[in-house]
Structure 1
Amino acid sequence: MKIAIFQVNPLIGDFKRQFSLIVEGSRRAMEQGCDLAVFPELALCGYPPRDLLEYGAFVTANEKCLAALVKEVHGIGVICGLVTGNPDETGKALFNSAVLFEDGRILHTANKQLLPTYDVFDEQRHFEPGTATQPVDYKGHRIGLTICEDAWNDKDVFRRRLYARDPVAQLVRDGADVLINIAASPFHKGKRVFRDTMLATLARKHKVTVVFANQVGGNDHILFDGASAVFDVRGQVVARAAEFAEDMVLYDTADGRGEMHPVIGSDTEAVLQALIMGTRDYVTKCGFRKAVIGLSGGIDSALVAYIAVQALGPEQIATIFMPSRYTSPDNYQDTRNLAGNLGVDYSIIPIDGLYQDFVRLLVPDADDTALSLTEQNLQARIRGTLLMGVSNRDGCLVLSTGNKSELAVGYCTLYGDMNGGLAVISDVPKTLVYEICRWINREQEVIPMRILEKAPSAELKPDQTDQDDLPPYEVIDAILEGYVEKAMSVDELVAAGHDPQAVADITARVDRNEYKRHQAAPGLKVTPKAFGEGRRFPLAKRFNPL
């Protein structure tokens, strides 16, 4: 059996688009002599559809799309994901399903059995868990059809399993010799290796071929890397699709061989490519063509500008430098050089006059040598207002430039530098920002070296640096990884060797600034635990154990 594995980039709810993708893909596969074309989880509507599933018209459109596909595609079998109705009188009204159809007939339907409710997932909100299904006989094979999480419960991979049953093990016991897992498995740093290890373990342990077809693209804050693959009975990768791009990869069960498309080597590059893809998809799927970025002369805005150019092209990017009396002379040159290197539009809007008007009204006795937070935040809010004005005037999306470290400890200004439609690097710790920028500069200087080498500063008062108010970012990021991503307690962090005073300071800042993060623009998720939908904490709280 010759299989074509497709990783497609859906737009949530655009059934016409997805219909065309599947029809055209199936025809391409048929021209290549394939017997079966495999598309990802919820390929008809896109993943995750969230509360669109509460609209009957959305579910009906999904059903009509399937009916049209079954009628249109002939001469090849197709597996794809979709939403189907639950005929029972009890339970949720919908299933997350996969179907196999061929020549006008639906041959097999499998419903997702394991519904994740952790991190960014909330599938039990809408879907009823499916019951076990038998493998389906097709082209001389017994295909065990599973959907994403159904494969993520092997007792030899997970020390604490979330579910009592293992759909993969059951399908193998029932005679499956090829496991096909259609998925919408999101990306985060480090996940590619773990996911490959898990799928290879399943193939080797059960002595079956494992076919993994994953969604690709960005849908809001969730990024999908694709990286679809086939694992043989030894657990070896014998077919591999590209990462962060739509692709088709072929595999033939007759000789156990498949196409191997190039993959990304390092996690640093993978994070960068994920951010580029996520920015492109968010901007364009929301109906924008252009973006505007406030350049400061710092490394964060430099990285966001680079990402935006790679995502949309330099002609679609405008950059604005908004100096004040506290802006260093170096930053005038550095921002101009960066814009020139990137080939983007660059303009300067000085804010000192506006700032002085605000200060006269609000803080008439302000001491210019010892500015309070009021005066500092006024500068950030003036810049944020100007960027939003440009957005309205020119019809472009503002990309905010704050990193995860700053967002975590509240080193950012509501209605100021937090303004924007997308927070591109809000899940990128400051130390990783530097790592990515050094990777960008590996062959030639794109980001001016002085931006990488100078001490980070908000430049909101004379001779200011971030470390006047914060511990070193290396210290912050190490503690944040434990506190935010691993849910370690203060005592556990101290026991792990972190400085007790730094732990107390940073964790208190994280807790105190939850309200700011609830008002932040959506950010692109690239770590195991990002701020936003996957991390849900109350605003009014005081964790105070006996």
Structure 2
Amino acid sequence: MSVSIALIQAAFTVGNIDANLARIAALYQVAVIAKADLVVFSEMNVTGYPPEDLILNAAFQQSAMQALEQCARMTSGGPAMLIGSLWCEEEIVFNAIFLLQDGRVAARQEKHHLPNDGVFDERRYFTPGAMPEPLLWRGMKLGLLVCEDMWFADVSAHLKHAGAELLIAMNASPFETGKPDARERAAISRVQETGLALLYVNQIGGQDELVFDGGSFVLGRQADICARLHVFREDMEFVRLQNEGAGWSPLAGTVQPRLGDTEMIYRAMMLGLRDFVLRNGFAGVVIGMSGGIDSALAAALASDALGAAHVRSVMMPSPITSDDSVEDATDCAQRLGIRIDTVPIDLGMQAFGAMLETVFDGPVSDLAFGDNQTRLRAGILLAISSKENLLLLNTGNKSEMAVGYTTPYGDMCGHFAVLKDAYKTTVFALAAWRNLHGEVIPPRILSKPPSAELYEGQTDQDTLPPYALLDAVLHQLVECRLGVDEVAAQGFSLSLVRRVNELLHVAEYKRRQAPPGVKISSMSFGRDRRYPITNGWQVMERNRVRHPGAAE
């Protein structure tokens, strides 16, 4: 006996239920033509995931419930379908999976484990379902796992005890470094515990700060990998399963190779940026080119994600800007094939400085002088953005955002920050990786000392530790959530750790005003890490930790 199950790894847009229905119908028809017996989609694919407070909207709930009926009608005379959506019972809402067949909703299963940490807050919206029972389809007992349910042993163990013959995990699992391996390890554990084959389906696409990477896979009863789908692109796999009396076993399919971490991060950034631009109706992006590595990498990502014709760059030199920076910015833009305009800001700086002198007690400080430059540049970029309907792409990185080495309403401006969750050392690694596939970033940009060029002779390391050291300390403080003494015990200077920690906490108010950006780590700035701005846990000497490029 054998069956064919189609695993559909696709992108769905949060809130655009009509478009999602059309996508489901189109992909379902492909499965019909391929003579699949069952078509499996990802978690909450009808509504898109995560719908957040849309779930609290009664009209949205009603639309989702109506869409469920439309999906059910698709199965009249065709294969069965497993889809994900919300289910409402009076004032109670569930995250659920539905078995659709013969034109009707044949069965429903609610998600049991609701994630409520990091970027997830499902308990705000959903009620946990009871421990699930297997769903009967064609005489086969399907054990369904709704995303988080796969990460716990109890659900699959209960399903096995209740007679499940096959595990199917429907997911909306966002990317972060190391997550694809972690998913497969969790799935392997469930297979080893139950002796059941497991089909894992994940969605793809960018949704605000989250990027869903796909990477769906199939495990045999011995936890062997039978199939693995592409990452960061839509894909489909038709899994043939046979049962010769010993249980259901998948036949070998296509196994896509795993990618290295750096390439995974680069692709996540590309997909996150592309979908943010397209789904929010922008015609392309505009980016300020400085001749430095951050703007060069951001421009490369934008060009790769959207095409060079949809990327516009602007070089805005001041009297402080070096000739090398102008040359490097122009060289990078030409290598990428993107438009670059030059708009000197000398006159604006003079006018702004003259206005400030009337209210300053004495000459304009280096700090104010430097910040005036970045705010003038932001104004120019915002004007172009507004006129041309271009997304203003912020180029700041995680190291700068962590310690407040940024200027509010200046270099912090933007609609989206593609490098927001990448430390400076990661930026260098990404740039080097990209150049291996075509040298689009001039070598001098990779080799020269990083500088904001806000005053004569400035480099980042005038006020910050070397980035390799800074990023190592920040990783311990942010991702690992260690205290100062714990980090110092690992061999770092106590005074250095204290200073970095102070900078980190003082900059909280700045990070709250930063644009959204692609999440690639386990602890991005945003919903992963929620520190209060007004915080008396550690007394900060605010004046002592200020530095150029970090204005109030």
Question: TM range, normalised to the smaller chain?
Answer: over 0.9
What amino acid is the match of 1:27? Answer: Q
Instruction: Give the one of 228, 231, 246 matched to 1:240.
Output: 228
Match of 1:159 in 2: none
Q: C-alpha displacement at 1:51, in angstroms?
A: 0.4
Q: 1:96 to 1:170 in 2, by over 3 A?
A: same
Match of 1:83 among 86, 90, 109: 86
- Give the deviation of 1:263 after TM superposition: 3.9
Name the CA distance, whole Å, in 2 between partners of 1:46 and 1:259. 28
Decide whether the 8 Å contact of 2:69 with 2:105 is kept in 1.
no
Q: How does 1:372-391 map to 2 (within 5 A)?
A: 372-391=366-385
1:242-321 matches, cutoff 5 A = 242-254=230-242, 256-321=250-315
> 155, 159, 169: which one pairs with 1:167?
155
Structure 2 runs not aligned, ≥5 long: 243-248, 540-552
Letter in 1 for 2:203: Q
Is the aligned partner of 1:199 residue 2:201? no
What is the CA distance between 1:133 and its match in structure 2?
Answer: 2.3
Whether the 8 Å contact between 1:243 and 1:263 is mirrored in structure 2 is no
* Structure 2 residue identity aligned to 1:106: V
Cross-structure match for 1:407? 401
1:365-396 deviation digits (Å, cap 9, x = unpaired): 8999x952111111111111111111111111
Structure 2 residue 450 is matched with structure 1 residue 456? yes
Spell out the pairing of 1:111-150 with structure 2 (5 A cutoff).
111-150=110-149
Q: For residues 149-188 of structure 1, what are the structure 2 equivalents within 5 Å?
A: 149-154=148-153, 166-188=154-176
Which of residues 52, 55, 71 in structure 1 aligns to 2:54?
52
Q: How many residues align?
A: 529
**1:64-117 deviation digits (Å, cap 9, x = unpaired):** 111111112331010010000135xxxx62000000111112222110011111
Maintained 8 Å contact 1:309/1:317: yes
Post-superposition CA distance 1:234-282 (Å, at most 9, x none): 1111111110011111211116224325344200000000000000000
497-506 or 356-365, larger mean C-alpha shift: 356-365
**Structure 1's 366 and 318: CA in aligned 2 closer, same or farther, altered over 3 A?**
farther
Q: Secondary structure at the match of 1:456?
A: coil
Q: Deviations over 1:159-212 (max 9, x none)?
A: xxxxxxx21111111111211111111100111111111111211221111111
CA contact 2:177–2:520 (8 Å) conserved in 1: yes
Whichever residue aligns with residue 8 of structure 2, its letter is: F
Using the alignment, how far apart are the partners of 1:42 and 1:125 within structure 2? 16
Partners in 2 of 1:298 and 1:311 — Cα distance?
Answer: 20
Cα distance in structure 1, aligned partners of 2:385 and 2:48 = 29
Q: After superposing the two structures, state which structure 1 stretch, 280-289 or 354-363, moved more.
A: 354-363
1:510 counterpart (504, 507, 516): 504
* Partner Cα separation in structure 1 for residue 402 and residue 302 of structure 2: 23
On the 8 A contact 1:225/1:244 being kept in 2, the answer is yes
Contact kept in structure 2, 1:36 and 1:78, CA below 8 Å: yes
Which of 418, 428, 431 is equivalent to 1:424? 418
Most deviating of 270-279 and 74-83? 74-83
> Which has the higher mean CA deviation after the structures are superposed, 300-309 or 21-30?
21-30
Question: Are residues 1:15 and 2:17 paired?
Answer: yes
CA distance in 1, matches of 2:304, 2:227: 28
In 2 relative to 1, CA 350–264 (structure 1 residues): closer, same or farther, beyond 3 Å? farther
**Partner residue of 1:42?**
44
Match of residue 350, structure 1, among 322, 334, 344: 344
Q: Give the aligned residue type for 2:58.
A: G
Match of 1:63 among 37, 40, 65: 65
What CA deviation, in whole Å up to 9, does each residue of 1:24-78 have, x standing for no partner?
A: 1111112112111100000000000000111111011101111111112331010
1:148, 1:184 within 8 Å by CA — same for their partners in 2?
Answer: yes
Structure 1, unaligned stretches of length 5 or more? 155-165
Query: For the Cα contact (< 8 Å) 2:75–2:104, is it kept in 1?
Result: no
1:160 corresponds in structure 2 to: none
Whether the aligned pair in 2 keeps the contact of 1:264 and 1:270 (CA below 8 Å) is no
Greater displacement, 216-225 / 189-198: 189-198
Q: Distance in 2 between matches of 1:444 and 1:8?
A: 29
Pairwise CA RMSD: 1.6
Show the counterpart of 2:434: 440
3-state SS, counterpart of residue 83 of structure 1? strand
Aligned to 1:526: 520
Deviations 1:450-509 (A, max 9, x none): 000000000000011000010011111111111111110011101111121211111100
Other-structure match for 1:157: none
Aligned match for 2:210, one of 222, 241, 245? 222
Distance (Å, rounded) in 2 between the aligned partners of 1:111 and 1:27 = 27
Post-superposition offset of 1:444: 3.4
Q: TM-score, normalised by structure 1?
A: 0.94
> Equivalents in 2 of 1:201, 1:146: separation in Å?
14
Query: Within 2, Cα distance between the matches of 1:93 and 1:134?
Result: 20
